[in-house]
């Protein structure tokens, strides 16, 4: 398992940024046990319905507070009380801030009776967590998806691809990899460019004679971009407008978990049952595209130094941009100085000839 240090990414094993940690539709008052960034954590909904995430191990005797089905505490419905969670071993109760608020048969709560707690945000049917090795506040916002609240668009239900045994850098490489599009996805680029600016990385792609949801049809435009190191949106304009969402989150140093969704517009109306079925089918087709990449990622060795050709895309620039998230904030400007810019491919146009269309594509990210 290749680690961040093996790739020479920087000072931290795990990157700074917003990351998805759960499918919000699957989170209930029954604790959900997850592992990310090399740590075991527990997610749950309090009685208010609000989602909380805390460290997995009780301060008392290091019992996993979420993994139990036979304890009296769990069987009698006392695992979650209000917004708090009880340890199933000795019933110590913790608030969402991680502080112990009750110890049965003992009045004085030690000051160090606490577990980790994590600030999370629920949005787009997902639970997101801001991870920062320096402990800082978020330095950028989650990506805006105004179509999410438009009733004519059909919202996604997530596809969970599970844990992939490679480092996330191998996933991020795809943003610059123009030459995999034809062999993997049967996509023939008529224009292609990357742009790296701040915490965002764009791929702008035009594909002739191929439609995301079927061959034929008009030329199609993809504006695909990372917001930080782990959240990717691909805005697609063609026969059917859609927004593909792919997110990946480090589990341990060298493994990553992925989710996929597609927000789809069928027509200018509130979706009918037939529209909903069509949208689900289109998400399944979209999913088949990421599944093609997934199979490649799952069956490759770690690539520390790609044998880059001029026609391949700017892997080295993207990897330099990516390093900003694995290093202290004070060093970010150095990585941006070495990576920011617009990058094109010899022999492939950098954008559509139609200036109005190009301006629309550029504004979509």
pLDDT in tens, 109-121: 999 999 999 999 9
Q: Print burial letters for 329-357: b (CB count within 10 Å at least 16), e (below 16).
A: eeebeebbeebeeebbbeebeebbeeeee
Q: Give the pLDDT band (50/70/90) at residue 236.
A: confident
pLDDT of the residue at 238: 67
Give the bridge partners for 250, in sequence order: 256
CATH architecture of 17-131: 3-layer Sandwich (2.102)
pTM, rounded to two decimals: 0.94
**Lowest-confidence range among 15-24, 35-44, 159-168, 344-353?**
344-353
Query: Helices in 131-272 by DSSP H: which ranges?
Result: 169-172, 181-185
d(CA 87, CA 66): 8
d(CA 207, CA 189): 5
DSSP state of 199: T
Q: Where are the domains of the chain?
A: 17-131, 146-363
pLDDT of the residue at 241: 86
Domains 17-131 and 146-363 agree in fold: no
Q: How far is CA 363 from CA 221, 233, 309, 360, in A?
A: 13, 14, 30, 5
Token pair 């805005």 is at which residue? 235
DSSP 241-274: -EEEEEEEEESSTT-EEEEEEEEEE-SSSS--HH
Q: Give the pLDDT band (50/70/90) at residue 186.
A: confident
pLDDT in tens, 198-216: 999 999 999 865 555 555 5
| Cα–Cα nearest to 65, from 113, 105, 107 | 113
Q: In this model, does residue 272 exceed pLDDT 60?
A: yes
Neighbouring CB atoms inside 10 A of 252's CB total: 17
Fold (CATH) for 146-363 = Naphthalene 1,2-dioxygenase Alpha Subunit; Chain A, domain 1 (3.90.380)
d(CA 215, CA 4): 39
Q: In this model, does residue 171 exceed pLDDT 60?
A: yes
């Amino acid at each position: 398992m290749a680690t961040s240090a093996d790739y020479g990414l920087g000072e931290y094993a795990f990157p700074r940024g917003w990351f998805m940690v759960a499918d919000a539709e699957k989170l209930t008052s029954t604790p959900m046990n997850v592992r990310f960034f090399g740590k075991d954590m527990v997610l749950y909904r309090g009685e208010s319905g609000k989602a909380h995430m805390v460290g997995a191990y009780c301060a008392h005797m290091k019992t996993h507070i979420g993994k139990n089905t036979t304890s009296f505490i769990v069987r009698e419905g006392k695992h979650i009380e209000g917004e708090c969670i009880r340890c199933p071993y000795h019933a110590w109760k913790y608030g969402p801030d991680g502080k112990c608020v009750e110890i049965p048969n003992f009045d004085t709560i030690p000051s160090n009776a606490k577990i980790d707690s994590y600030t999370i945000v629920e949005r787009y049917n997902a639970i997101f967590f801001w991870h920062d090795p320096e402990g800082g506040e978020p330095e950028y916002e989650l990506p805006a998806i105004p179509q999410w609240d438009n009733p004519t668009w059909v919202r996604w239900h997530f596809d969970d691809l599970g844990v992939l045994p490679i480092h996330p850098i191998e996933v991020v490489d795809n943003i610059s990899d123009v030459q995999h599009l034809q062999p993997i996805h049967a996509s023939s680029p008529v224009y292609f460019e990357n742009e790296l600016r701040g915490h965002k990385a764009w791929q702008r792609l035009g594909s002739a004679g191929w439609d995301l949801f079927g061959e034929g049809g008009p030329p199609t435009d993809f504006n695909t971009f990372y917001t930080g190191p782990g959240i990717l949106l691909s805005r697609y304009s063609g026969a059917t407008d859609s927004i593909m969402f792919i997110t990946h989150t480090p589990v341990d140093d060298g493994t990553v978990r992925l989710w996929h969704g597609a927000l789809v517009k069928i027509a200018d109306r509130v979706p009918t049952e037939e529209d909903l079925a069509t949208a689900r089918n289109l998400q399944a087709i979209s999913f088949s595209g990421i599944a093609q990449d997934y199979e490649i990622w799952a069956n490759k060795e770690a690539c520390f130094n790609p044998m880059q050709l001029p026609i391949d895309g700017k892997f080295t620039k993207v990897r330099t941009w990516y390093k900003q998230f694995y290093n202290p904030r004070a060093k970010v400007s150095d990585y941006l100085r070495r990576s920011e810019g617009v990058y094109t491919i010899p022999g492939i146009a950098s954008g559509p000839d139609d200036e109005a269309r190009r301006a629309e594509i550029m504004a979509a990210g």
